[in-house]
Amino acid sequence: MTLITGGAGFIGTNLADRIAREGGRVLIYDNLSRAGVERNLKWLKQRHGDRISVDVADIRDNERIEAAVAQAVRVFHMAAQVAVTTSLADPLTDFQINAAGTLSLLEALRKRHKPPPLVFASTNKLYGECVARDQLSEEATRYRPRRLGLRRGIDELCPIQLVSPYGCSKGAADQYVLDYARAFGIPAAVMRMSCIYGPRQFGTTDQGWVAHFVGACLQGETITVYGDGKQVRDILFVEDAVNAYLLVQSHMPQISGQVFNLGGGPRNAVSLLELLALLEGLTKTKPKVRFDNWRHGDQLYYVSDTTHLRRATGWQPTVSYTRGIAQLHHWLSGFLGTHTLHRERVPA
């Protein structure tokens, strides 16, 4: 059985759906704290029945996570507190979930005679302000690196710069996973993700900004852009992300103890302003936008260099951001025909 912690979330749901469609059994371990995830569970159960098992429990519950790990032949660890803003409001809970919760999972794995392989969902926030403002040119709709080398993206050799409690807690978890692979021989790898988007994502202003922008445009809501909107991210369609996670698992233990950047790369790099213009073309309506101050820890420019992942596994993105956004727009249009989106902030 495949264990997915945080499996009712956006990426976990898409990953569980793929595994179940291919005939596998999945144990979803989730405390259901994020708005909308109950819908994901219902959808999975309706599609796959007994292939989906659910344990509604918290990653901080040592006994429950140990019992879940005891059933697993492989593990994807996605359970997390996911918002920088929430970490600033409640750093202690953020640490307990992201750092201490990951350590509890690792200890449960270490107790197994033959630990199942683990892939951990980390974040590009570990790199902090990896590209400084003075390294960027400001253009009409985006920031662009002055140096050609930076335009190829940020690789895994970029020094870690932990900014915000969220960055610190995820950074601690990231390093614990890598060290448990080295010190205890647990087959494990780390995926430092950029912005993943696609169906089953219920975005908010705090996390999942691509889906939040699409949903707000469809519902005629005002979008708040923090900063000037020229900040750039490489965005990756969720099916490409699922492919990457499964490929990394399939290449264990050869790549155990390694870290991989996961994102859309330079070809899928887009600024907030450019995404809004794309949405205007899809919806035939100009999005309502207001601007506010920059937020703490917001990167002006982040684009992943995924060369290491490609060389290790053969992975590369296949869905362009224009095609992927159109698919997300289509899915959300249908979803909103029968549902409403939750707009509360991400809970701790």
What is the mean pLDDT of the segment spanning 296-303?
87
Task: Give residues with Cβ within 8 angstroms of 311, minimum separation 6.
Answer: none
Residue 335's pLDDT is 86
Task: Give residues with Cβ within 8 angstroms of 119, minimum separation 6.
Answer: 75, 76, 77, 188, 189, 190, 191, 245, 248, 249
What is the mean pLDDT of the segment spanning 171-175?
97
Residue 182's pLDDT is 97
Distance of alpha carbon 255 from alpha carbon 275, whole angstroms: 35
Instruction: State the virtual CA torsion across 45, 50, 51, 54 in degrees, nearest 10.
Output: 60
pTM of structure:
0.93
Distance of alpha carbon 232 from alpha carbon 279, whole angstroms: 16
Which 8-state DSSP code applies to residue 99?
I
From 166, 245, 301, 321, active-site residue: 166
Residue 338's pLDDT is 64
Higher pLDDT, 340 or 54: 54
Residue 343's pLDDT is 47
Residue 166 known to be catalytic: yes
Q: Above 70 in pLDDT, residue 293?
A: yes
Q: Above 90 in pLDDT, residue 134?
A: no
Query: In the predicted model, what is the mean pLDDT of the chain?
Result: 93
| Rg, C-alpha atoms of the chain | 19
Residue 130's pLDDT is 82
Local structure of 4: helix, strand or coil:
strand
Task: Work out the pLDDT band at 339, boundaries 50, 70, 90.
Answer: low
Give pLDDT tens digits for 227-264.
999 999 999 999 999 999 999 999 999 999 999 999 99
Q: Above 80 in pLDDT, residue 280?
A: yes
Distance of alpha carbon 153 from alpha carbon 261, whole angstroms: 10
Task: Give residues with Cβ within 8 angstroms of 212, minimum separation 6.
Answer: 203, 204, 205, 223
